[in-house]
């Protein structure tokens, strides 16, 4: 590998590595961990809020069950206010914990992205001048701004939701085993049938999303190059051809994003259908 190619890979390692499964997909996020560990207090607050939100979510059905089983019976009609109060308290805990989790997680994501952008710009300024003979400034700016924003979403809100769902999964399994071991066993047996197709579909969605992001970066690079040389473009009367080419690039970016959105919509619909169908079948 030449030095120039090595520089290109160091700027955009995610877009140039082949898809080698889940491990290869998650490995590019590992360099972000040192950035996050700079803000340990924020991580602790977010983790505590996440645990509280997951616990409240698991407790809420119990509060509703108690209200239905005992709150409306003739023998305990006087306790209906207490059961309603307990349900409201659980809901309030869930609301406060969810809001707190969102605040700290997004704050952590903003910190990580800000530090990453600063380090990436420092790296770009240290690259050899020969690198910029072939690199497109507009594409580099897109990587510096738009792509890092995507990382904020992945490392911030998406990661916290995944952790919350993981905690809720194990908590729900424990509660199901305590309620009905047979039903819990049937549910666990159905999980691989449900999850494996969703994992495969998720990889396809990631590939489409990456393609859409790359296409948008190319359109931004083309616009940046022509706007920086607008005098030469106007002197040669190339406004119409330049506009037409940029329009085609924008349409291509739209088509790529639309394809990713459509695939994501099908995955979401399929996940909901499979989950609720499995609940009916298990019953």
Residues 34 and 155 in one domain: yes
**Are both 70 and 186 inside the same structural domain?**
no
Together in a domain, 46 and 169: yes
| Domain interval for residue 256 | 181-283
Range 185-191, long-range pairs (CB < 8 A, 24+ positions): 186/282, 187/278, 187/282, 190/278, 190/281, 190/282
At which of 155, 179, 203 does a domain end?
179
**Backbone phi and psi for residue 39, each to the nearest 5 degrees, phi listed first:** -125, 65
| Residue 55 and residue 121 share a domain | yes
Q: What is the pLDDT of residues 255-269, one digit of tens each?
A: 888 888 888 888 788
Averaged pLDDT score across all residues of the chain? 76
Number of other CB atoms surrounding residue 206 within 10 Å = 15
Q: Of 151, 179, 207, which residue sits at a domain end? A: 179
Average pLDDT over residues 18-35: 58
User: Does 189 share its domain with 140?
Assistant: no
- Ranges 20-24, 97-101, 246-250, most confident: 97-101
Mean pLDDT over residues 13-37, rounded?
56
198 and 149, same structural domain? Answer: no
Whole-angstrom distance, CA of residue 23 vs CA of residue 153: 19
Measure the CA–CA gap between 185 and 269, rounded to whole angstroms.
Answer: 26
Residues 109 and 179: beta-carbon distance below 8 Å: no
Assign 155 a pLDDT band (cuts: 50, 70, 90). low
Structure tokens at 19: 């898809």
Contact yes or no for 104/45 (Cβ under 8 A)? yes
What gap in Å lies between CA 26 and CA 190, rounded to an integer?
A: 26
Question: What is the C-alpha end-to-end distance of the chain, expressed in Å?
Answer: 58
Pair 159, 188 in one domain:
no
Per-residue pLDDT of 178-218, as tens digits, reads: 877 887 787 777 777 777 777 777 777 778 777 777 787 77
pLDDT band at 48 (very low <50, low <70, confident <90, very high): very high
Please tell me whether residues 200 and 228 are part of one structural domain.
yes
- Residue 1 — very low, low, confident or very high, per pLDDT cuts 50/70/90? very low
Here the CATH number for the domain that contains residue 133 is 1.20.1560.10
Same domain flag for 51 and 128: yes
State residue 71's pLDDT score: 60
**Whether residues 168 and 223 fall in one domain:** no
pLDDT for res 78 = 64
Chosen domain end from 118, 144, 179? 179
Domain count across the chain: 2
The full length of the chain comes to 283
Query: 213 with 88, same domain?
Result: no
Task: Write out pLDDT tens, residues 159-170.
Answer: 777 788 888 888
R_g of the chain computed on alpha carbons: 25
Q: In terms of domains, do 13 and 109 share one?
A: yes
For residue range 86-120, list pLDDT tens digits in order.
888 888 998 999 889 888 988 888 888 888 888 88
In 3D space, the residue among 99, 104, 97, 98 whose CA is nearest the CA of residue 45 turns out to be: 104
Report which of residues 22 and 173 the model is more confident about.
173
Report the share of the chain in percent with pLDDT over 70. Answer: 82
């Amino acid at each position: 590998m030449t030095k120039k190619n090595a520089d290109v890979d160091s700027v955009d390692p995610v877009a140039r590595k082949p898809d080698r499964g889940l491990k290869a997909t998650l490995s590019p996020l590992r360099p972000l961990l040192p950035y996050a560990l700079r803000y340990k207090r924020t991580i602790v607050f977010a983790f505590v809020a996440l645990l509280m939100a997951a616990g409240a979510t698991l407790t809420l059905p119990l509060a509703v069950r108690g209200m239905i089983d005992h709150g409306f019976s003739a023998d305990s009609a006087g306790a209906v206010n207490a059961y309603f109060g307990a349900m409201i308290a659980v809901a309030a805990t869930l609301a406060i914990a969810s809001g707190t989790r969102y605040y700290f997680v997004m704050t952590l994501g903003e910190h990580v992205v800000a530090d990453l952008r600063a380090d990436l710009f420092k790296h770009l300024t240290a690259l050899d001048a020969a690198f910029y003979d072939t690199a497109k400034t507009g594409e580099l700016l897109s990587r510096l701004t738009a792509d890092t924003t995507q990382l904020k979403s992945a490392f911030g809100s998406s990661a916290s939701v995944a952790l919350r769902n993981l905690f809720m999964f194990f908590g729900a399994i424990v509660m199901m085993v305590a309620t009905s071991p047979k039903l819990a066993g049937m549910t666990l047996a159905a999980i691989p049938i449900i999850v494996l197709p969703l994992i495969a579909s998720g990889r396809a969605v990631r590939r489409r999303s990456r393609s859409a992001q790359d296409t948008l970066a190319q359109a931004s690079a083309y616009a940046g190059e022509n706007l920086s040389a607008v005098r030469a473009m106007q002197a040669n009367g190339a406004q119409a051809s330049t506009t037409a080419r940029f329009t085609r690039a924008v349409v291509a970016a739209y088509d790529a994003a639309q394809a990713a959105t459509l695939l994501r919509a099908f995955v979401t619909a399929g996940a909901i259908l499979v989950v609720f169908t499995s609940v009916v079948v298990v019953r």
